[in-house]
Amino acid sequence: MHLRFDGKVAVVTGAGGGLGRAYAILLASRGAKVVVNDLGGSGQGEGQDQRPAQRVVEEIRKLGGTAVPDFNSVENGQSIIKTAIDNFGKVDIVINNAGILRDRSFAKTSNADWDLVHAVHLKGAFSVTQAAWPYMKKEGYGKIILTSSTAGIYGNFGQSNYSAAKLGLIGFGNTLAIEGERSGIKTNIIVPMAASRLTQGILPPDLFDKLKPECVAPVVAWLCHENCEENGGIFEAAGGVIARYRWQRSKGVSIDPVTPEAIEKAWDAITDMSDAIYPSSNGELSGILIEGITRGTESKQETDSVDDDVDGIRRDVALRHPGTVLKSEVAPRDSILYALSVGVTLGSGENALKFLYENHPDFSALPTFAIVPTQQIMFDVFGGGVPGLKMDFSRVVHGEQYLELLSPTFPTSAQVETRMEIVEILNKGSGALIVVNAECRDAETGDKLAFLQFSLFGIGITDFDAPKTSQVEMYPTLAKPKRSPDSVLTFQSSLDQAALYRLNGDTNPLHIDPNMSALAGFKKPILHGLCTMGIVVQQLLSKFCGADPTAFKAVKVRFAGPVLPGQTLETDAWLEDAGRKIQFETRVAETGKPAIKGGWMQLNRAAVKAAKL
């Protein structure tokens, strides 16, 4: 079946000829509505002519497609995207293809030669993409293509300006891929070799004839299709040959003390690429570097089982790690998804809408939404991002959790910086206990948002040296009061509860894959402990605080047993400390077995019974 683009709107810059024309015609032939952008200047960036873009639009229309022209410079990205919005109401695809050449040897390159090439290639891609970004974020979908070059990757005589801009686009694309991931925006980079007005006279005539833009266009079309999950890739396409690039790094050599003479002596080993590695992120590279510094080597052949494809813990190494920092973005759709995943529905009551509708005058995030920005960093921690600590996530379960808000409410829209630090690792005899502290701040203002303490348990991971007890401050659970509860709350979880909750970012296969849960000793995938906590907290907030998130201060729980999706939760709740603290315990109604023990929720003011959420 043909890959179609029906209902999609694409903006193609530099589409008056060559590659851009091929992209626009192919997408339009498969149902996309296309904005054909071209300033119509010369290959050196001079002049302006509306005819190239208009000709391509007419060509598309004659073939039965839908297209409109746009004659703006890519430096005026807002106007280009406005053409898409005014004509089609949205933008799904942006292909940054516009480019010029002003080739000179480096010694003869003028400021104008440098600035104009960068203005079109690099700043132009920035301008158009930034203008499209908010529309894509709102839709939760977007495909962005940036155009690099072999000149950017390898360099080319007479093209210092062009090479620098083209390599800059790779760095730009890498960052867009990271920042857009949570919003459903995927960015990829094409490295095309095709006959065009920019390459005519540079490529040999025989090769020029074989390198048709129509051989590159299908690669770009695939990267723009909704079925393509690729993000952050760099792909070369030339004459029907398609390949992927990746970064390569030698193993490296640790030198102490570092002197020019020591480096000279080790130079052959430093530059030896015979057993290269391929780091794919800053986090992965940081782990490699820190491990090399702390253990005196960067050679994987010289490391122990921590670097093998099995679980491994070296407490001394892991505790020396300075911490991991992750910047992420939270948006209204994230807090709404979280609320849905912990049981808030439109049928819950009049107070539910403020957690589910971004235009509600009191739109708010549930207090436990603060857990969401920390989840990816936890995967980095246990996935090898921290030297001395590597654990199979299928064997990791949540032991205890503490969460404290340091602001009146957690924001529904913000850039969040999360700093994680491993503060303790214990060998409990039946498994490994890892205690992790995390602090969330507003990345723009520096304001503290939340503090969290995770206690995680690696089932059966005991082959490492560590004490059983610790002097590190850990927030305690509390024994339940010796009286009847003040209230009993029930919640019927759905069979899809874990499948929905994992969309918040906790993609541990233990909660979805029967094979993985079986490896951890569970008959079926289990519900996330944090999902259970979120369900109970929103119920308590509703029952005793009128569903007011500003009443919440902190919560602490111990996860005492698994919950299967579809089971019913029963929570006993006691008002203590003149109503400023709610103690609670939760059990599975079908089995009577505990799910949460020793739980407590601290309030900013005395609790009052209120309307149901």
Q: State the pairing for strand pair 234-238/185-193.
A: parallel
Per the structure, the count of domains in the chain is: 3
pLDDT at position 288, please?
59
Distance CA 533, CA 541 (A): 12
Each residue of 571-588: b (16+ CB within 10 Å) or e?
Answer: bbbbbeeeebbbbbbbbb
Indicate whether 190 belongs to any domain.
yes
Highest mean pLDDT among 103-107, 211-215, 224-228, 391-395: 224-228
More confident residue, 519 or 105: 105
Choose one of 193, 212, 245: the last residue of a domain.
Answer: 245
Residue 126 pLDDT > 70: yes
Does 304 have pLDDT greater than 50?
Answer: no
Residue 338 is among the residues annotated as catalytic for this protein: no
Q: Answer yes or no: is 250 within a domain.
A: no
Question: Taking a C-beta distance cutoff of 8 angstroms, is the pair 511, 498 a contact?
Answer: yes
Stretch among 58-67, 207-216, 267-276 having the lowest mean pLDDT: 207-216
Please indicate, yes or no, if residue 454 is contained in any of the structural domains: yes
pLDDT of 303 strictly over 60? no
pLDDT above 80 (res 391): no
* Residue 609: Cβ within 10 Å count: 11
φ/ψ of residue 423, rounded to 5: -105, -15
Which carries the bigger pLDDT value, residue 106 or residue 612?
106
Select the more confidently predicted residue: 69 or 298. Answer: 69
Specify the pLDDT at position 298: 35
Residues 337 and 285 in one domain: no
On the question of pLDDT at 309 being above 50, the answer is no
* End-to-end CA gap in the chain: 47
Whether 215 and 240 have beta carbons less than 8 Å apart is answered as yes
Phi, psi of 249, rounded to the nearest 5 degrees: -145, 140
What is the pLDDT confidence band of residue 184, given thresholds at 50, 70 and 90?
very high
Tokens of 291: 């491990």
Minimum mean pLDDT range among 272-286, 361-375, 403-417:
272-286
Burial 354-387 (b: 16+ CB within 10 A, else e): bbbeeeeeebbbbbbbbbbbbbbbbebbbbbbbb
Spell out the SS3 assignment of 384-397.
HHECCEECCHHHEE
Residues 96 and 232 in one domain: yes
Q: What is the pLDDT of residue 202?
A: 56
Q: What is the CATH number of the domain that holds 368?
A: 3.10.129.10
**Does residue 580 carry a pLDDT above 80?**
yes
68 and 201 part of one domain: yes
Shared-domain flag, residues 215 and 151:
yes
Q: Given a cut of 60, is residue 194 above it in pLDDT?
A: yes
438 and 526 belong to one structural domain: yes
* Domain presence at residue 608: no
Residue 381 reports pLDDT greater than 70: no
Residue 314 — pLDDT band, cuts 50, 70, 90? confident
Residue 544 has pLDDT above 80, yes or no: yes
Model confidence at 20, pLDDT cuts 50, 70, 90, reads: very high
Q: Look up the domain containing 118 and give its range.
A: 9-245
pLDDT tens-digit map of 512-533: 988 877 766 678 899 999 999 9
Instruction: Specify whether 368 is located in the same domain as 496.
Output: yes
Least confident span in 253-257, 300-304, 514-518: 300-304
Residues 176 and 302 grouped into a single domain = no
pLDDT at 252: 84
Q: What is the SS3 assignment for 312?
A: strand
Mean pLDDT score, 90-110: 93
Residues 322 and 285 occupy one common structural domain: no
In a domain, 389, yes or no: yes
The active-site residue, picked from 23, 141, 154, 162, is: 162
- Evaluate whether residue 386 is within a structural domain: yes
Of 304-313, 380-389, 466-475, which has the strongest mean pLDDT?
466-475
Q: How is residue 516 written in tokens?
A: 């993985």
Note whether residue 255 is domain-resident: no
Residues 305, 328 within the same domain? no
| pLDDT beyond 80 at 571 | yes
- Retrieve residue 570's tokens: 């029963």
In a domain, 74, yes or no: yes
Stretch among 158-162, 378-382, 383-387, 442-446 having the lowest mean pLDDT: 378-382
- As beta bridge partners, residue 196 has none
Distance CA 594, CA 395 (A): 21
pLDDT reading at 610 higher than 50: no
What gap in Å lies between CA 365 and CA 264, rounded to an integer? 57
Q: Is 431 left (phi over 0), alpha (psi -120 to 50) or beta?
A: left
Average confidence (pLDDT) over 559-567 = 93
Q: What is the CATH number of the domain that holds 180?
A: 3.40.50.720
Query: CA angle, 19 as apex, 14 and 20 as ends, to 5°?
Result: 35
Give the burial string for 295-332 (b: 16+ CB within 10 Å, else e): bebbbeeebeebbeeebbbbbebbbebebbebebbbbb
Domain boundary among 294, 309, 324: 309
Q: What is the mean pLDDT of the chain?
A: 87
Q: Are residues 276 and 130 in the same domain?
A: no
What distance in Å separates the CA atoms of residue 342 and residue 148, rounded to the nearest whole number? 44
Average pLDDT over residues 537-545: 94
Q: Are residues 130 and 216 in the same domain?
A: yes
* pLDDT reading at 294 higher than 60: no
Helix, strand, coil % (nearest 5) of the chain?
A: 35, 25, 40
Shared domain check, 378 and 475: yes
**Are 401 and 437 within 8 A, CB to CB?**
no
- Residue that terminates a domain, selected from 219, 245, 271: 245
- What's the pLDDT band for 350 if we cut at 50, 70, 90? confident
Distances (CA, A) of 246 to 103, 300, 537: 28, 20, 45
